[in-house]
Structure 1
Amino acid sequence: MNKKTAIIDIGSNTVRLVIYKYDDEGTLHELANMKKVARLRSYIEEDGVMNAQGVEVLKELLLQYKQILADFDVPHVYAAATAAVRQATNHEEIVWTMQEETGIELKVLTEEQEAYFGFMAVAYSLATSSAITIDMGGGSTEITLFENKVLQHTHSFPFGTVSLKQKFIAGDKMTDSERKALIAYVKEQFESLPWIVDRHLPIIGIGGSARNVAQIQQQRIKYPLSGVHQYEMTKQEMDDLAQFLWPLTFEELNQLEGLSSDRADIILPALDVFRTLMDVVHTGAFQFSKKGLREGIIINQILQESPDAYNKYDVFHEHSRRLAASFGRSEAEQQHVDYLVTTLYRQTCEEFGLVRMERELEMIRGAAPLYHIGEFIEQDAASQHTFYLIANQSIPGIKHRERLRMALIASYKNRGQLEQLLVRYQDWLSKDEIKEVRMLGSVLKFIHALNISKRQIIQDVVLKNLEDVVEITFTTTQLAAAESYAAERQKKHIERVFKKPVTLVFQ
């Protein structure tokens, strides 16, 4: 049964409404995503009170969003207020006013809750097992440390992009002296946390400022894959980007591809904060997560209803399975193909005396349920559609290079087409990796033929490496005319892998 829910994320810089639909298995679809720049942090006076103008801005936004929720017929909304409302000394009055005048109940998140929900989003959507996260909003910055997907430490700093700008920057653009003062302040703050100093762990950036950094870099280098989730930049790339942005005027920043106009005046301070954190942590890797507070709240809600809905230790295979199901691959079909892939791979290693490569096996198992999902759109162009669907879709649990390899394996048709697809990805894969793609793609093409009728009739597989031939015997539960015909046509692909003739026996 499909359910609808919505999150209103009331931040210091923006107020965003996201509407989701999800089913009993936890498959999550985003139906709508709208934001308004409110800069609520700027309405907090020196005495800590959010003034009447700021309260009115928030009220009008919530009334607009309430009408949109009615249009989408959303029965449940979770309105999460973070630093701007939390830090306002009159936050209880703000909550009461919104309840009375809009009917929307604000949940003012504690610093610990805000950090926890960010961690939840990362843990259940990235494969990275241990890392430090940074969620930099307009009025606060949450830092967490997790090891083996278990949260170890959280901390919230009372500064964000908007408050740092108010504190250190007089105009739209930083001066040299303002920049030095900002970096020195942030460095001192980060070094006050002994559990992040010199940890040598990757940093994961959450939130709009982090996403904008990734988008600017991707536009700048003409990055051929879509999406920022699980994109990664080195320290050198972060430094080079800062050097590229520094001379630009405010007007030039406003026109920059990939940068939201409402962040033109705060993107450089945000980037300097990220770079400073990398120096303190002593790391060369900065990863980006498109998932954040809102997704963490939704995941937490779904897990309360269905504790087994998500597995943070097997993120990719879980989402691969759901993606395949959305293109018509049944659970039974996926399990059967996985059995064929695993059995043939392991028996090949045993018969040919090869060292079993678990990474190789995981790669082909991950691609197997997605093999030629493009046939759902058009049979004749299944390969091209498959590549596009996987390469241009943010699949949680795998990095971008792995996603490219997955797309190439799952769409494999022949060597010529593989070379055509690789034209845009020069130097992404080594010769050995391209060879591996051809090999795994060939095996999947053959295995796809073994379930051509989608009846899951192969019960047992025995592979023997004889002197002059490889013999594969399939025991089936029914007559396998379709499978036998399709497999005979495709066995040339595995003959190239084995470098031997292959005899197929169906009994």
Structure 2
Amino acid sequence: MITQREDYYALIDIGSNTMRLVIYLPNELGRFREVENVKAVARLRNHLNDDGYLSKDGETILIDTLSDFKDVLKIYPLSHFTCVATATIRQAKNQAALVKKVKAELDWEMEILSEEEEAYFGYLAVVNSTSLTEGITVDMGGGSTEVTYFKERKIIHAHSFSFGTLSLRRMYQYEEAEKTSLDRIKRYVLEQFETLDWLKNRAVPLIAIGGSARNVAQIDQVDKDYPMAGLHQYPMLKKDLDRIQDQLLSLTLKKRQKVEGLSKDRADIILPALTTFITLHQFIKADRFVLSQKGLRDGINYALFFKDKTHPYSPNVLEDSMQELVNDFNLDLKQIFQIERLARTVFNALYSHKMKGVNKQDWQVLNRAAYVFNLGEYIDNESSAQHTFYLLANRTIDGLSHRDKLKIALVSSFKNKTVFKQFTRPYKSWLTKSERKKLRLLGALLKFIYCLDATKRQVVTDIDVEVKRKKIKLTIYTKKNAAPEIYQAEKQKKHLEKALKRDLVLSFVRK
């Protein structure tokens, strides 16, 4: 349903392989919620002739696809519209004529991004949507491949290579085995990488952007029966890339088109892309391969939002993402701050007494979970734990790895030991037994603290914690009648007692 708001942003990305129309709603945090995404597999690169001109057929595909996008846009009240083109239009000798044609036919200004701009926007997307402070990005399109190196979140180097998946595919010689063609591609891209001194032996994460990288991650998730939804910040190792390459190389093109996780329209170009990723991974000695779902289009949006700021990136990606959750689910900030304050008091006491091995990193998990505890109540109160876990485990939370996201989901959704075990069952290999025990303790603690603000009146002013050999005494000070809080705390303390293996003695004192 289209709202009556008039601040929709529309962005058309004319790539070498695909063309996309994406419509967003921005918020005050500089984040953009995608409301529509229309894709067309145009493969304009294949219509760039030997003389370097986009052919008449290519022009027709370009204009017809943009006309279809214009029909979609009619129902959206826009406050901002951008139409950008990348490698194929940039490399076409008739680019000026194409710009004029788009203007004449559609009355749109088609902006042709420079190589530097294309690389920069990819970097900008990564630093605004992950917690990585250093890395190499690679954005492989149909007609070009952009790489950047950033450190302390600042871009240090950037480069655009004039090869992409479609141009590499043209290097195939069909009378020879596919592996032989891929070996030729490997030698070619390695020669290109060797022209950049700043790429070699960086030993940092390789962050991949774009449709080919996304398909590689999807195949890996299917192969591993990955229990968590979402691709952003999905990590892989080189052995995963090698395994997928071997798997796809063993299949005919027809069978490759049926591989789950691989888009049919990418079946013929996925191996040139994989070969490039593996070669670059080896060249930079990457410690891991990480997928970024955020790319060129997101980078353009971030540049727009941060254009008047000191730095073109958010000072704290995770904090912004957590705040977005608070906004989306109408969570009560006063209650969040109350829970956070009381939880800190009890946690500090456990930490100072070295109870159950809690450490400073555990406070980070508990603190983040306090922001979103029981948010599933927004959907249904009776099954709030299930909704909380599902939403947090499967929603993209920028700045959090999948493993850290799981930890927060488990703590925030804690109901009891039985439900906790149900939630952890698909993820047993992700966490050690001691980690699971620790998260259960943090969940039980958070649930207990939540009971101390059961009526959302912030009646509890302070807590004194006295740790003894067999019990823990909590003196809880209140400023009003706290009967509902007393009832809930007494009812729920058993979960914390079981996790701590000590009795909790509660004493409520009204000041």
Alignment correspondent of 2:364: 362
Alignment correspondent of 1:150: 154
Distance, in Å, in 2 between the alignment partners of 1:307 and 1:449 is: 42
Alignment correspondent of 2:460: 458
Query: 2:56 aligned with 1:37, yes or no?
Result: no
Question: Which one of the candidate residues 467, 473, 478 is aligned to 2:480?
Answer: 478
How do 1:71-470 residues align onto structure 2 when only pairs under 5 Å count? 71-166=75-170, 168-171=171-174, 175-304=178-307, 311-312=314-315, 314-352=316-354, 357-466=359-468, 469-470=471-472
* Residues 437 and 499, structure 2, Cα contact 8 Å, conserved in 1: no
Q: Residues 363 and 393 from structure 1, CA distance in 2 versus in 1: closer, same or farther, beyond 3 angstroms?
A: same
Distance, in Å, in 2 between the alignment partners of 1:443 and 1:404 is: 17
Q: Unaligned regions of 5+ residues in structure 2, if any?
A: none
Question: Which one of the candidate residues 1, 4, 7 is aligned to 1:3?
Answer: 7
Question: Which one of the candidate residues 43, 55, 64 is aligned to 1:51?
Answer: 55
Instruction: Give the superposition deviation at 1:484.
Output: 2.1
Alignment correspondent of 1:28: 32
Amino acid at match of 2:58: G
**Cα deviations by residue, 1:88-125 (Å, 9 ceiling, x for unpaired):** 12212211211121111111111111111111111111
* Residues 227 and 392, structure 1, Cα contact 8 Å, conserved in 2: yes
Distance, in Å, in 2 between the alignment partners of 1:174 and 1:74 is: 51
Distance, in Å, in 1 between the alignment partners of 2:374 and 2:62 is: 48
- Residue 502 of structure 1 aligns to a residue whose secondary structure is strand
- Once the two structures are overlaid, the 10-residue window that deviates more, 367-376 or 330-339, is 330-339
Aligned length: 505
Q: Percent identity?
A: 39
* Residues 390 and 406, structure 1, Cα contact 8 Å, conserved in 2: yes
Q: Residues 307 and 57 from structure 1, CA distance in 2 versus in 1: closer, same or farther, beyond 3 angstroms?
A: same
* Residues 26 and 310, structure 1, Cα contact 8 Å, conserved in 2: no
Instruction: Give the superposition deviation at 1:199.
Output: 0.9
Distance, in Å, in 1 between the alignment partners of 2:455 and 2:312 is: 30
**Cα deviations by residue, 1:169-199 (Å, 9 ceiling, x for unpaired):** 1459962321111100101111221112011
Instruction: Give the superposition deviation at 1:372.
Output: 1.6
Distance, in Å, in 1 between the alignment partners of 2:53 and 2:264 is: 28
Instruction: Give the superposition deviation at 1:230.
Output: 0.9
Amino acid at match of 2:33: H
Distance, in Å, in 2 between the alignment partners of 1:353 and 1:409 is: 18
Instruction: Give the superposition deviation at 1:77.
Output: 1.3
Instruction: Give the superposition deviation at 1:401.
Output: 1.9
Instruction: Give the superposition deviation at 1:158.
Output: 0.5
Instruction: Give the superposition deviation at 1:52.
Output: 2.2
**Cα deviations by residue, 1:350-396 (Å, 9 ceiling, x for unpaired):** 25588862221111111122212112122121111111111221221
Instruction: Give the superposition deviation at 1:129.
Output: 1.7
Runs of 4+ in 1 over 6 A off after TM superposition: 305-310, 353-356
Amino acid at match of 1:347: A
* Residues 49 and 89, structure 1, Cα contact 8 Å, conserved in 2: yes
Amino acid at match of 1:262: D
Q: Unaligned regions of 5+ residues in structure 1, if any?
A: none
Instruction: Give the superposition deviation at 1:72.
Output: 2.4
Instruction: Give the superposition deviation at 1:463.
Output: 2.0
* Residues 4 and 22, structure 1, Cα contact 8 Å, conserved in 2: yes
- Residue 427 of structure 1 aligns to a residue whose secondary structure is helix
- Residue 17 of structure 1 aligns to a residue whose secondary structure is strand
Q: Residues 309 and 39 from structure 1, CA distance in 2 versus in 1: closer, same or farther, beyond 3 angstroms?
A: closer
**Cα deviations by residue, 1:259-284 (Å, 9 ceiling, x for unpaired):** 11111100011001000001101124
* Residues 173 and 249, structure 1, Cα contact 8 Å, conserved in 2: no
* Residues 205 and 286, structure 1, Cα contact 8 Å, conserved in 2: yes
* Residues 131 and 399, structure 2, Cα contact 8 Å, conserved in 1: yes
Q: Residues 274 and 454 from structure 1, CA distance in 2 versus in 1: closer, same or farther, beyond 3 angstroms?
A: same
Distance, in Å, in 2 between the alignment partners of 1:425 and 1:4 is: 39
Question: Which one of the candidate residues 54, 66, 72 is aligned to 2:70?
Answer: 66
Instruction: Give the superposition deviation at 1:6.
Output: 1.0
**Cα deviations by residue, 1:409-446 (Å, 9 ceiling, x for unpaired):** 11111112222223322422111111111111111111
**Cα deviations by residue, 1:114-140 (Å, 9 ceiling, x for unpaired):** 111111111111112211110000011
Q: Residues 181 and 483 from structure 1, CA distance in 2 versus in 1: closer, same or farther, beyond 3 angstroms?
A: same
* Residues 321 and 397, structure 2, Cα contact 8 Å, conserved in 1: yes
* Residues 374 and 385, structure 2, Cα contact 8 Å, conserved in 1: yes
- Residue 365 of structure 2 aligns to a residue whose secondary structure is helix
- Residue 74 of structure 2 aligns to a residue whose secondary structure is helix
Distance, in Å, in 1 between the alignment partners of 2:286 and 2:340 is: 37
TM-score, scaled relative to structure 1: 0.94
- Residue 76 of structure 1 aligns to a residue whose secondary structure is strand
* Residues 172 and 265, structure 1, Cα contact 8 Å, conserved in 2: no
Distance, in Å, in 2 between the alignment partners of 1:212 and 1:423 is: 27
Distance, in Å, in 2 between the alignment partners of 1:353 and 1:419 is: 22
Distance, in Å, in 2 between the alignment partners of 1:132 and 1:172 is: 36
Distance, in Å, in 2 between the alignment partners of 1:10 and 1:346 is: 54
Distance, in Å, in 2 between the alignment partners of 1:268 and 1:20 is: 32
Distance, in Å, in 2 between the alignment partners of 1:135 and 1:302 is: 22
Distance, in Å, in 2 between the alignment partners of 1:482 and 1:310 is: 45
Q: Residues 420 and 353 from structure 1, CA distance in 2 versus in 1: closer, same or farther, beyond 3 angstroms?
A: closer
* Residues 350 and 358, structure 2, Cα contact 8 Å, conserved in 1: no
CA root-mean-square deviation: 2.2
* Residues 4 and 74, structure 1, Cα contact 8 Å, conserved in 2: yes
Amino acid at match of 1:385: H
Distance, in Å, in 1 between the alignment partners of 2:177 and 2:400 is: 37
Distance, in Å, in 2 between the alignment partners of 1:474 and 1:42 is: 72
Distance, in Å, in 1 between the alignment partners of 2:72 and 2:433 is: 52
TM-score, scaled relative to structure 2: 0.93
